[in-house]
C-alpha cells in the first residue's frame, strides 16, 4: 500500500523462514541493509517437535510461530508470503508465483523434504513428516487405524490395521515409533471396547546396520535396547521394496517378507528443495543425488558472490572433507556466519575467514522419559538425557508463550498418560474406514 522507504541500503532477500533463514534475518537486525524474508507459509515451524503433533501430543500452533510476530520489532525486516518459482540471476531478481522481487544479496535457505528414492508413488500410502499438513495427516491415519480396528470383526484384518510400519531409523523414525508405543500402551488403554491398543505391532525398518546410525555406537546400541523394551520391532539391514495401500514388502537378512498394514509412516530419505537444483542448473553447478547445492567455504554459490545457500538445501564440505549433517544447528550457525559476511560486504569490507561448524551435539527422545544425547564428547542416556532434551527444546522454541504451553501440555501428558490433541481432522475423517458389513452382527 505505502511504498517501501526509498533507502539506498542493499536489499537482502532470504528464501525460507526455517532455522537458517530466520537466524540470518535476525542477525542482520543491526546491519545497514533491508531484509525481506520470503516463505510459502506465514510461520516458522519448529520441526524437531513435529512428531509430537503427528502423534497428538501438541497442537500445530504450539510449534508454529507467525514469522511476522517474530520479526515485528526488527525495523529493517519485512516478511513476504510468497512462493519462489525461479531465478533471474543476471538481473538479480527472483521470479515469484505472482510477481518478481529484486535483490542485492540472496540467501537460499529453503530446506529439504523427504524423498522416496524415486518411488514417488509411495507418497500417498506412506506420508512423510516435514510440514504441518504432513503431521495432521499422520495423526489422522494413526487414530483412524485404531478406530477401524475397533470396528473390524475379522481378526486378520484387525491385526493388519493395528500394524504400524515406520520406515527409517533416524531421529524422526525413532521418535515417531516411540510416541506410537506410548499411544498404544498408555494413552488409549481404556478407550476401546473390542481391541486392546497395546496389541498394536510397531516396526522400525532401517536399511543401515543400526538405528540412529549417525550417533556414537554406544548411544545407538542403548537406543536400540530401549526401543525393543518399548515393544517396538527393529529391523535393520532391511529395505522397503514395495508399498501399497494394505501391505509393505521388505527385503532383509532373512530374505523377502510381506507385512500386511494400512499405516506406513515415512521417516527416511531427504531431498533438497528443488530451488537448489534450479540455481545449480542455471550456473552449470552439479547438485548431488539428493539435490543439494554445493557451496564454498564461505557458504557462497560458485560464480555468484552475492548468492549464499545454507542449511538443508546446501552441501557444505568442511576443511577436513566432511560433509556437514542436516541439522538445525548447522543451518543456524551458517545463518549467523552469512549475516556477518553480508554485513561486511555491504560495508565493502572483505570476507573474514571460512565458516567453521561447532558441533554442540545431538539428541533424540524414545518414548516416556528416556532420551539419548551426545553433547560435545559426552554422552547421556535415560531420564537425565530426557530432562536435558526437554530443557534444550523448550529454550530453543522461539516464542515465550509456546514454551509455557508446551511445558504444561507435557507435564499434563506425563502425569496422565494422556494426549489431548488426538482429534482426527480433515474433510472426510470417516471415509478410510474399510467396509465392514458385519458390523450390526457384532
Tell me which residues are annotated as active site.
175
Residue from 9, 29, 78, 340 touching a second copy (CB under 8 A): that is 78
Nearer to a second copy, 384 or 412 (CB): 412
Query: How many Å is the Cα radius of gyration of the chain?
Result: 23
Q: Does 96 sit near a second copy (CB under 8 A)?
A: yes
The values of phi and psi at residue 432, to 5°, are -85, 0
Q: Stretches 111-119, 303-311, 328-336, 409-417: which one binds a second copy (CB under 8 A)?
A: 409-417
Pairing of strands 163-167, 201-205: parallel
Residue from 9, 29, 123, 151 touching a second copy (CB under 8 A): that is 151
The DSSP secondary-structure symbol of 373 reads E
Cα–Cα dist 84/238, whole Å? 38
Nearest to 63 by CA among 40, 41, 36, 39: 41
Burial-class residue 335 by CB neighbours within 10 Å (0-12, 13-18, 19+). buried
Q: Stretches 25-33, 216-224, 300-308, 401-409: which one binds a second copy (CB under 8 A)?
A: 401-409
Tell me the three state secondary structure of residue 313: helix
Residue from 59, 263, 315, 362 touching a second copy (CB under 8 A): that is 59
Q: Does 9 sit near a second copy (CB under 8 A)?
A: no
> How far out from the chain centre does Cα 313 lie?
13
Residue-wise DSSP of 10-49: -EEEEE--SHHHHHHHHHTTTSSSEEEEEESSSEEE-GGG
Nearer to a second copy, 101 or 381 (CB): 101
Q: Stretches 1-9, 20-28, 122-130, 223-231: which one binds a second copy (CB under 8 A)?
A: 1-9
Q: Does 101 sit near a second copy (CB under 8 A)?
A: yes
Residue from 283, 390, 405, 410 touching a second copy (CB under 8 A): that is 405
Tell me the three state secondary structure of residue 121: helix
**The total number of residues written for the chain in this structure:** 442
Q: Does 302 sit near a second copy (CB under 8 A)?
A: no
Residues 313-332: x/- map of binding to a second copy (CB under 8 A)?
A: --------------------
Q: Does 62 sit near a second copy (CB under 8 A)?
A: yes
Nearer to a second copy, 194 or 360 (CB): 194
Nearer to a second copy, 144 or 332 (CB): 144
> In angstroms, what is the minimal distance from the CB of 343 to a second copy?
21
Cα–Cα dist 421/105, whole Å? 42
Q: Does 424 sit near a second copy (CB under 8 A)?
A: yes
Residues with Cβ within 8 Å of 75's Cβ and at least 6 positions away in sequence, in order, are: none
Nearer to a second copy, 333 or 421 (CB): 421
Nearer to a second copy, 192 or 391 (CB): 192
Nearest to 414 by CA among 216, 187, 246, 102: 187
Q: Does 348 sit near a second copy (CB under 8 A)?
A: no
Tell me the number of residues near a second copy by CB under 8 A.
82
Residue ranges in 160-219 that form contacts with a second copy under rule CB under 8 A: 188, 190-195
Do 87 and 95 touch, CB atoms closer than 8 A?
Answer: yes
Residue ranges in 21-50 that form contacts with a second copy under rule CB under 8 A: 40-43
Residue-wise DSSP of 231-247: TEEEE-S-EEEEE-SSE
> In angstroms, what is the minimal distance from the CB of 219 to a second copy?
33
Amino acid at each position: 500500500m505505502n511504498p517501501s522507504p526509498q533507502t539506498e541500503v542493499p536489499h537482502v532477500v532470504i528464501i525460507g523462514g526455517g532455522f537458517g533463514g530466520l537466524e540470518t534475518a535476525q542477525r542482520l537486525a543491526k546491519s545497514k541493509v533491508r531484509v525481506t524474508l520470503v516463505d510459502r507459509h506465514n510461520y516458522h515451524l519448529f520441526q524437531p517437535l513435529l512428531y509430537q503433533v503427528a502423534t497428538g501430543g501438541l497442537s500445530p500452533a504450539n510449534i508454529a510461530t507467525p514469522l511476522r510476530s517474530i520479526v515485528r520489532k526488527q525495523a529493517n525486516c519485512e516478511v513476504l508470503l510468497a512462493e519462489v518459482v525461479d531465478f533471474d540471476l543476471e538481473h538479480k531478481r527472483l521470479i515469484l508465483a505472482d510477481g518478481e522481487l529484486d535483490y542485492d544479496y540472496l540467501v537460499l535457505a529453503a530446506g529439504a523434504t523427504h524423498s522416496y528414492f524415486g518411488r514417488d508413488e509411495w507418497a500417498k500410502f506412506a506420508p512423510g513428516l516435514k510440514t504441518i499438513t504432513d503431521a495432521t495427516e499422520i495423526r489422522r491415519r494413526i487414530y483412524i487405524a485404531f478406530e477401524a480396528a475397533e470396528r473390524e470383526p475379522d481378526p486378520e484384518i484387525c491385526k493388519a490395521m493395528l500394524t504400524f510400519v515406520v520406515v527409517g531409523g533416524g531421529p524422526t523414525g525413532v521418535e515417531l515409533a516411540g510416541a506410537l508405543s506410548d499411544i498404544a500402551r498408555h494413552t488409549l488403554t481404556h478407550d476401546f471396547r473390542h481391541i486392546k491398543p497395546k496389541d498394536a505391532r510397531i516396526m522400525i525398518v532401517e536399511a543401515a546396520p543400526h538405528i540412529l546410525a549417525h550417533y556414537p555406537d554406544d548411544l545407538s546400541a542403548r537406543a536400540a535396547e530401549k526401543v525393543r523394551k518399548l515393544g517396538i520391532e527393529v529391523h535393520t539391514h532391511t529395505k522397503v521394496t514395495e508399498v501399497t495401500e494394505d501391505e509393505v514388502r521388505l527385503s532383509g537378512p532373512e530374505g523377502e517378507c510381506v507385512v500386511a498394514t494400512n499405516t506406513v509412516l515415512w521417516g527416511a530419505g531427504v531431498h533438497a528443495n528443488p530451488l537448489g537444483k534450479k540455481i545449480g542448473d542455471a550456473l552449470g553447478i552439479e547438485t548431488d543425488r539428493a539435490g543439494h547445492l554445493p557451496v564454498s567455504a564461505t557458504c557462497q554459490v560458485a560464480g555468484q558472490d552475492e548468492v549464499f545457500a545454507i542449511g538443508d538445501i546446501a552441501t557444505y564440505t568442511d576443511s577436513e572433507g566432511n560433509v556437514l549433517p542436516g541439522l538445525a544447528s548447522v543451518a543456524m550457525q551458517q545463518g549467523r556466519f552469512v549475516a556477518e559476511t553480508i554485513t561486511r560486504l555491504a560495508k565493502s569490507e572483505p570476507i573474514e575467514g571460512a565458516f567453521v561448524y561447532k558441533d554442540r551435539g545431538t539428541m533424540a527422545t524414545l518414548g516416556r522419559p528416556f532420551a539419548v544425547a551426545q553433547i560435545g564428547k559426552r554422552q547421556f542416556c535415560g531420564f537425565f538425557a530426557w530432562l536435558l532434551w526437554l530443557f534444550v527444546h523448550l529454550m530453543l522454541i522461539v516464542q515465550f508463550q509456546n514454551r509455557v504451553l508446551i511445558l504444561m501440555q507435557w507435564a499434563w501428558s506425563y502425569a496422565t498418560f494422556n494426549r489431548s490433541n488426538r482429534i482426527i481432522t480433515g474433510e472426510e475423517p470417516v471415509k478410510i474406514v474399510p467396509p465392514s458389513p458385519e458390523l450390526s452382527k457384532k
